[in-house]
Amino acid sequence: MIRAVDGPEGAPWERPLHGTLDRLVVESEALTDNPLGDPSIRPLYVYRPPGVEPDHPKSLPSVYVIQGYTGQLDMWFNRTPFEPTMIERVDAMFADGACPDAIIVFVDAWTTFGGSQFLNSTGTGRYLDYLCDELPPFIDERYPTFSDRDHRGLTGKSSGGYGAMVVPMLRPDVFGALASHAGDALFEACYLPEFPVRARQLRDAFDGSWDKFFEAAQGADPPKDEWIHLLEMYGYAAAYSPDPATPGRALIPFDANGRLIAHIWAQWVEKDPVRMAPRRADALRSMRRIYIDAGRSDEYFLDLGAQAFAAELAKLGVDHTCELFDGTHARLTYRYPAAIRELVTALAP
């Protein structure tokens, strides 16, 4: 005999939150009429620690969390077997008193191509403006947050880790601290090895035609797993080397034979965090905390990217922490709360 009971099931299913997750929906002017026709209406999650209400009497730091490629906001509820979700991990950290109070903002920057790299691009849309010019004023008006960059941080993994490195370099007026987990960096290590693989895949499955690929992929349910890699490559190109003649399209940095197209590749390299660092030295020196990590066995060699970025920071005399740990590119969620704590501690008054 069973009976109905009230409330969440508890671990290992849904764990009741000690704090509060506000699940908002916002409409972005920056994303209106974007070249892909993607929604300008987006979900936005805002986490408040236990006891923190919107009218909290003290101003708090804020940390913005951005996702990896193909990430959409509701994926933060995905559960890896035997592990808490990201939201549950963050909640547990604050509930345990392991981190000073802060407002945590979870941002969605999904596109039809799977991601935006958090840049402004005629290939995807104005995602840098959305992240920097629209969201912070919206949050600061509705939540008890400091409204200045010295109390606002940015963190993410993979493409989100790329955004966490690059956005504060581009907009140090908005973000004053960063944490990057296995962020895309050292492009010749993480991207170049993929080019001949994708050229061969495009040749064998789609006669070397991106148009044929998109025609086949349109509305495919479910999409083939191997197609995701092609879409991801095109999405990177849409962010790094958009086609100036055709909004919503990209210039690919290799030809049908897999041969590098130098002038397009140069556009990618210009956006590599390792190459950007010397040009953005003052912005990096202004950061209150820079934390970088990656698994030593990262399949995309982003451990080397983390090392290379850290080496540039060292040359510039920028204080930072770079940690390499035993692991790959997957199952890194357990590392996120500690990085958020690093930022909050540095950003707290």
pLDDT tens track for 227-274? 999 999 999 999 999 999 999 999 999 999 999 999 999 999 999 999
- Whether 229 and 153 share a structural domain: no
Last residue of a domain, one of 225, 242, 269: 269
Residue 182 lies in a domain: yes
Last residue of a domain, one of 218, 246, 269: 269
pLDDT value at position 166? Answer: 99
Residue 12 lies in a domain: no
Residue 294 lies in a domain: yes
- Whether 60 and 123 share a structural domain: yes
- Whether 182 and 294 share a structural domain: yes
Backbone angles phi, psi at 161, to 5 degrees: -65, -35
CB neighbourhood size of 138 (10 A): 15
**SS3 assignment, position 34:** coil
**SS3 assignment, position 269:** helix
- Whether 253 and 211 share a structural domain: yes
pLDDT value at position 226? Answer: 83
Q: How far apart are CA 180 and CA 290, in angstroms?
A: 8
- Whether 37 and 132 share a structural domain: yes
Q: How far apart are CA 208 and CA 166, in angstroms?
A: 32
- Whether 297 and 160 share a structural domain: yes
- Whether 35 and 131 share a structural domain: yes
User: For position 137, which CATH number holds?
Assistant: 3.40.50.1820
* Whole-number CA gyration radius for the chain: 20
Q: Which residue has the tokens 């999904």?
A: 110
Domains in the chain: how many in total?
2
For residue 151, what are the contacts with CB-CB under 8 A and spacing of at least 6? Answer: 59, 60, 61, 62, 145, 176, 347, 348, 349
pLDDT value at position 138? Answer: 98
pLDDT tens track for 288-341? 999 999 999 999 999 999 999 999 999 999 999 999 999 999 999 999 999 999
Residue 80 lies in a domain: yes
By residue range, what is the domain housing residue 230? 189-269
Residue 4 lies in a domain: no
- Whether 181 and 195 share a structural domain: no
For residue 238, what are the contacts with CB-CB under 8 A and spacing of at least 6? Answer: 111, 113, 121, 123, 124, 248, 249, 250
Q: How do the pLDDT tens digits run along the chain, 349 residues long?
A: 999 988 788 899 989 999 999 999 999 999 999 999 999 999 999 999 999 999 999 999 999 999 999 999 999 999 999 999 999 999 999 999 999 999 999 999 999 999 999 999 999 999 999 999 999 999 999 999 999 999 999 999 999 999 999 999 999 999 999 999 999 999 999 999 999 999 999 999 999 999 999 999 887 888 888 899 999 999 999 999 999 999 999 999 999 999 999 999 999 999 999 999 999 999 999 999 999 999 999 999 999 999 999 999 999 999 999 999 999 999 999 999 999 999 999 999 9
- Whether 44 and 121 share a structural domain: yes
pLDDT value at position 224? Answer: 85
Residue 107 lies in a domain: yes
- Whether 211 and 73 share a structural domain: no
- Whether 196 and 316 share a structural domain: no
Evaluate whether 107 touches 44 at the Cβ level (below 8 Å): yes
**SS3 assignment, position 54:** coil
- Whether 235 and 293 share a structural domain: no
The model's pTM is 0.97
DSSP-assigned states of every residue in 104-158: EEEE----TTS--TT-EETTTEEHHHIIIIIHHHHHHHHSSB--SGGGEEEEEET
Q: How far apart are CA 186 and CA 273, in angstroms?
A: 7
